[in-house]
A and B are shown apart, each in its own frame.
Chain A
Amino acid sequence: MTRLLIIGSSHVGALKNAEETFLAGRPDLALDFFGLRAPAFLKSRMDAEGVFHPPEQDEDGRDLILKANGALTVATAGYDHVMLIGYRFGFPEVASLLERYDILGLTDAGHPATIDLVLVEDMIDTMISASLDDVLAALAPANRSLTLCLAPYPSKSIASRAPRMELARELVAFWDHPGASHVFEMWLSRLRSQIEAAGHTLLEQPYRTVAGPFATKPMFARAPDNFDGSAMKGTDHRHMNAEFGLTVLTSFARMIKNTSEAPRPAETPIKERI
């Protein structure tokens, strides 16, 4: 039996609601979840025994974690694989670069000003470092290899909110920009390298869910799920449904199978490399 643990922000909901479908026909797998609000998830840490601790919560926060998970913390030691889902690693900020700018020597979309590719590279490195360094430091004491999974890319349908929502406006401009693929691949490649250098694995969003650079097909954003298993009201274009969750779980299982064994622990303790 291979035991899997999924820890994450509200995006755990999509995976949790796909659990039954996913496990059908996979008697060799066992699956557990631990979900919490994104701000708490991003500030959580692991201790040397591999126990995942959310930051100190007020009463409402504690109640929510208890209601969803039955415990305030979760021990990862008994699991063969642990995946954490819910990171964006600064890509929305990187995407915002293209809202009003062309990239010198790369695109000519008629924007009134240009930025150069070195600034884009530096912005990517700054944004990844600002978020990934904290994550790695918080996870380092557990000294085990983990799978990090991004929060779902926003759905293309978020464009309908562009007139009143900054993220939507920036993403629409990004998706329309001829440099979008180049910038996204640059970000993804650098992110993957840095995560692997720290001894972890990046699980990329499954191809069949992707509508373009940092975009999810709208069909996966219909009827999304909360991390406590309840259905969300309406479509918020950032949370995905059980079908999406199933695709991610399948991709995770395939990755595990391809590596055949548990992800190799880092040769040196993670803590020493940070």
Chain B
Amino acid sequence: MSDPDADGPPVSPYEGLEDRAFWRSGVVEAGYPPTGLYTPKFPITREVPIFTAGSCFAQHVGRTLRDNGYHVIDAEPAPAKVPEALAQRHGYRLYAARFGNIYTVRQFLQLMLECFDEHQPADAVWEREGRFFDALRPGVTPRGLASPEEVRTSRAQHLNAVREAARQTGLVVFTLGLTETWEHAPSGTIYPTAPGTIAGAFDPQLHRFVNFRADAIKADFLALRALFQTFNKDVRFLLTVSPVPLTATASGGHVLPATIYSKSVLRTAAGELAEDHDDIDYFPSYEIVSSHPSGGRLFEANMRSVHPRGVRKVMKTFLAAHDSADDQTPRQIRRARRLARLAAAEAAQRQKDDAAHEVICEEQLLEAFRK
């Protein structure tokens, strides 16, 4: 009911909104990416220990945070003098521990449950030409290991490292990558790559295609959140969605609508989680790279890999938002700058090796199976 004492006619609820709320002023007449695209729900200081994980694109996020002086956890470090590209080829210096790409929330959840002895992966050792691979992270040992026992020993050490990383965590930055994945049907074990892609063998009687829906993703994420909260009840979460399209779909449809569907589901899940929980934020890296105002210019010629320009725009937006939201004392700012300078020097060293900037992405292997 309108207030009979108010002056003038009723106003539209859109009246008085900021420029960013309108397409013309917020996008068409703004630079790209537009300012005000992202307002952090909570500050991320350079002191908070950050656990990074996710699909290939998450590697850019972790690297940029590290290079800018943020406290990015590395609980399973490579020997110090291993060159960057070599370390990354062996799964080091990519994420909080050496778990490789985590494409689905279910995969992430199962990893954490395994750390708590609440999940035992099935068919956890894959073989190829006499070498043995950890089925849950087959990409981190490029030529496999000598025996299944070595795989199991290595995994036990890895789980210790993941637990240690989780124990330290103040913020989880997770990039949701895929909805489509492969499952060991009897046990529900989720693999990061289809059996037979890097190692192992695909058995249609045993392995089942899964295309997660938003509700399942949200439920998995909330279970994951609860596990992190057992270590730190104040832990926070920052979600992003990878802009990288599917290399291939097993859904039976065309890869383009399958990609849009998959990303829409992930975006929905991330958006609803962020709307419903104060400790979960969403950062729009997917929108910056993939939405039509970017005109596809932030992808490489294959229209799949994100161009370094795209990565820069994404991370610049992120850093600008958090640097302004970071309520630091002058001393803290000086320290952050000093750390950033050191990180930049290390980054410059890494840049000497071009390969160090390649993203390690098992999904690309699927392309080899195209013909």
> Which of A55-63, A118-126, A176-184, A245-253 sits within the interface?
A118-126
Is B83's beta carbon under 8 Å from chain A? Answer: yes
Do B150 and A97 touch (CB < 8 A)?
Answer: no
> Which of B6-14, B74-82, B178-186, B191-199 sits within the interface?
B74-82
> Which of A25-33, A99-107, A143-151, A262-270 sits within the interface?
A99-107
| Interfacial residues of chain B within 45-88, with CB under 8 A of chain A in the complex | 76, 78-83, 86
Is B35's beta carbon under 8 Å from chain A? Answer: no
Residues of A within 8 A of B80 (CB): 96
Beyond A97-B79, A114-B153, A116-B150, is A123–B86 a contact (Cβ under 8 Å)?
A: yes
| Interfacial residues of chain A within 102-139, with CB under 8 A of chain B in the complex | 104-105, 113-119, 122-123, 126
Do A119 and B90 touch (CB < 8 A)?
Answer: yes
The one of A99, A100, A105 in contact with B145, judged by C-beta atoms closer than 8 angstroms, is A105
Name B87's closest neighbour in chain A (CB-CB): A119
The one of B79, B86, B142 in contact with A126, judged by C-beta atoms closer than 8 angstroms, is B86
Name B140's closest neighbour in chain A (CB-CB): A116
The one of A105, A113, A118 in contact with B143, judged by C-beta atoms closer than 8 angstroms, is A118
Residues of B within 8 A of A116 (CB): 90, 141, 145, 150, 154
Is A93's beta carbon under 8 Å from chain B? Answer: yes
The one of B86, B144, B147 in contact with A122, judged by C-beta atoms closer than 8 angstroms, is B86
Beyond A113-B76, A116-B154, is A97–B82 a contact (Cβ under 8 Å)?
A: yes
* Minimum distance in angstroms from B150 CB to a CB of chain A: 5
13 contacts between A and B (CB under 8 A): A93-B81, A104-B154, A105-B145, A105-B149, A105-B153, A113-B76, A113-B157, A114-B157, A115-B78, A117-B146, A118-B144, A119-B82, A126-B86
Is B89's beta carbon under 8 Å from chain A? Answer: yes
Do A122 and B89 touch (CB < 8 A)?
Answer: yes
Residues of B within 8 A of A99 (CB): 79
**How far apart are the CA atoms of A96 and B157 in the complex, in Å?**
21
| Interfacial residues of chain A within 49-104, with CB under 8 A of chain B in the complex | 93, 96-97, 99-101, 104
Residues of B within 8 A of A126 (CB): 83, 86
* Minimum distance in angstroms from B26 CB to a CB of chain A: 49
* Minimum distance in angstroms from B131 CB to a CB of chain A: 9
Residues of A within 8 A of B90 (CB): 116, 118-119, 122
Question: Shortest 3 CB-CB distances between A and B: which pairs?
Answer: A93-B81, A105-B150, A97-B79
| Interfacial residues of chain B within 263-311, with CB under 8 A of chain A in the complex | none
**How far apart are the CA atoms of A126 and B80 in the complex, in Å?**
15
Which residues of B are in contact with A by a Cβ distance under 8 Å? 76, 78-83, 86, 89-90, 141-147, 149-150, 153-154, 157
Name B142's closest neighbour in chain A (CB-CB): A118
**How far apart are the CA atoms of A96 and B150 in the complex, in Å?**
22
Interface size class of A (residues with CB under 8 A): 10 to 19
Known pairs A113-B157, A114-B154 / 7 extra A-B pairs, C-beta < 8 Å:
A93-B81, A97-B82, A105-B145, A116-B90, A116-B141, A119-B90, A122-B89
Residues of A within 8 A of B141 (CB): 116, 118
Name B144's closest neighbour in chain A (CB-CB): A118
Residues of A within 8 A of B149 (CB): 105
**How far apart are the CA atoms of A118 and B90 in the complex, in Å?**
9
**How far apart are the CA atoms of A114 and B83 in the complex, in Å?**
17
* Minimum distance in angstroms from A123 CB to a CB of chain B: 6
* Minimum distance in angstroms from A197 CB to a CB of chain B: 22
* Minimum distance in angstroms from A94 CB to a CB of chain B: 9
**How far apart are the CA atoms of A101 and B82 in the complex, in Å?**
13
* Minimum distance in angstroms from B24 CB to a CB of chain A: 54
Do A123 and B146 touch (CB < 8 A)?
Answer: no
Residues of B within 8 A of A123 (CB): 82, 86
* Minimum distance in angstroms from A173 CB to a CB of chain B: 11
Do A105 and B79 touch (CB < 8 A)?
Answer: no
**How far apart are the CA atoms of A100 and B154 in the complex, in Å?**
16
**How far apart are the CA atoms of A117 and B76 in the complex, in Å?**
17
Name A96's closest neighbour in chain B (CB-CB): B81
**How far apart are the CA atoms of A205 and B36 in the complex, in Å?**
65
**How far apart are the CA atoms of A104 and B156 in the complex, in Å?**
12
Residues of B within 8 A of A118 (CB): 90, 141-145
**How far apart are the CA atoms of A122 and B144 in the complex, in Å?**
13
Residues of B within 8 A of A114 (CB): 153-154, 157
* Minimum distance in angstroms from A122 CB to a CB of chain B: 6
Most chain A CB neighbours (cut-off 10 Å) among B78, B80, B81, B146: B81
Do A100 and B146 touch (CB < 8 A)?
Answer: no
**How far apart are the CA atoms of A126 and B145 in the complex, in Å?**
19
Name B89's closest neighbour in chain A (CB-CB): A122
* Minimum distance in angstroms from B86 CB to a CB of chain A: 5
* Minimum distance in angstroms from A133 CB to a CB of chain B: 14
**How far apart are the CA atoms of A247 and B280 in the complex, in Å?**
69
Beyond A96-B79, A100-B79, A126-B83, is A105–B147 a contact (Cβ under 8 Å)?
A: yes
**How far apart are the CA atoms of A105 and B148 in the complex, in Å?**
11
* Minimum distance in angstroms from B117 CB to a CB of chain A: 21
The one of A93, A105, A119 in contact with B146, judged by C-beta atoms closer than 8 angstroms, is A105
Name B131's closest neighbour in chain A (CB-CB): A118
Name B90's closest neighbour in chain A (CB-CB): A119
* Minimum distance in angstroms from B130 CB to a CB of chain A: 13
Residues of B within 8 A of A119 (CB): 78, 82, 86, 90
Do A104 and B150 touch (CB < 8 A)?
Answer: yes
Residues of B within 8 A of A97 (CB): 79, 81-82
Name B82's closest neighbour in chain A (CB-CB): A123
Residues of B within 8 A of A93 (CB): 81
Name A99's closest neighbour in chain B (CB-CB): B79
Residues of B within 8 A of A96 (CB): 79-81
